[in-house]
Amino acid sequence: MTKTLNTRTATAVLALSLAAALGAAPVAANAAPNGVTNCAASGQKQEKGAIIGALVGGLIGSKVSSNERGLGTAVGVVAGAAAGSYIGCNAQTKEAYAAGTYRSGGRTLAGYVQPARFERAGGQFAATTRVNLRAAPTTRARAVGMLQPGERFQALATTHGGRWVLVGRNGVGIGYVARAYVMPSGYQRTAWGY
């Protein structure tokens, strides 16, 4: 009787967890930075990873826990789904980077540019000094280019509280530049408080 109850409980927990993973993953995949419940790159690998991880985790949890198989299955499903989702998102992001350009946060980015949580749209800007373009909005990211003093560019967005600007060419984000080294050009200076 107890074994039948544990098997039914494990099956119910597994079915509910899979239903939750299937329902939540597509919504979460459109969220911002990479993680267990969201992915910055578009694709299906995160959802598939969560499902496979939940199945494998549930089976392992059921086998490992001898006394409480239902609880072991539930813990295994959750841990497996989280691990599978994370691994799937990383694979999905690498695939998008390798494709040349990809979409993230409503913007088209060059394959080497890392996604970010984009804030305000930019407009036309110009560099105030010679400054590096970075693959990510941090000074620790590798340099992917350079702007010369006075060089104008299309600012596709800002990120990190306006401290970084996504530099665009022909509508594609090609790198980030620190906001302290650029300023809006023309009539847009007023809109930015200059």
Using DSSP bridges, classify how beta strands 143-147 and 107-110 pair: parallel, antiparallel or unpaired.
unpaired
79: pLDDT strictly greater than 80: yes
Q: How many alpha carbons fall within 13 Å on the CB side of residue 105?
A: 21
Q: Which fold has domain 109-191?
A: SH3 type barrels. (2.30.30)
What are the b/e assignments for 97-129, b being 16+ CB within 10 Å? Answer: beeeebebbebebbeebbbbebeeebbebbbee
Average pLDDT over residues 166-175: 90
In Å, how far from its chain's centre is CA 18?
22
C-beta neighbour count of 56 within 10 angstroms: 17
Q: Where in the chain is the domain with CATH 2.30.30.40?
A: 109-191
Q: Are 145 and 175 in contact (CB under 8 A)?
A: yes
133-151 pLDDT, tens per residue?
999 999 999 998 899 999 9
C-beta neighbour count of 67 within 10 angstroms: 7
Distance CA 54, CA 48 (A): 10
pLDDT at 34: 47
pLDDT at 41: 54
The 3-class SS string of 82-95 reads HHHHHHHHHHHHHH
pLDDT at 124: 92
Lowest mean pLDDT among 25-29, 100-104, 163-167: 25-29
CA nearest neighbour of 80 among 42, 48, 41: 48
The mean of the pLDDT values for the chain is 76
Distance CA 78, CA 152 (A): 49
Distance CA 98, CA 66 (A): 45
8: pLDDT strictly greater than 90: no
Neighbouring residues of 83: CB distance < 8 A, sequence distance ≥ 6: 53, 57
Query: Taking the alpha carbons of 118, 119, 125, 130 in that order, is the dihedral positive or negative?
Result: negative
pLDDT at 98: 55
CA nearest neighbour of 116 among 48, 177, 169: 177
Residue type, 154: Q
35-64 pLDDT, tens per residue?
555 554 556 777 888 889 889 988 888 888
Grade residue 167 by pLDDT with cuts at 50, 70 and 90.
very high
Query: CA geometry: angle at 99 spanning 112 and 25, to 5°?
Result: 95
pLDDT at 27: 31
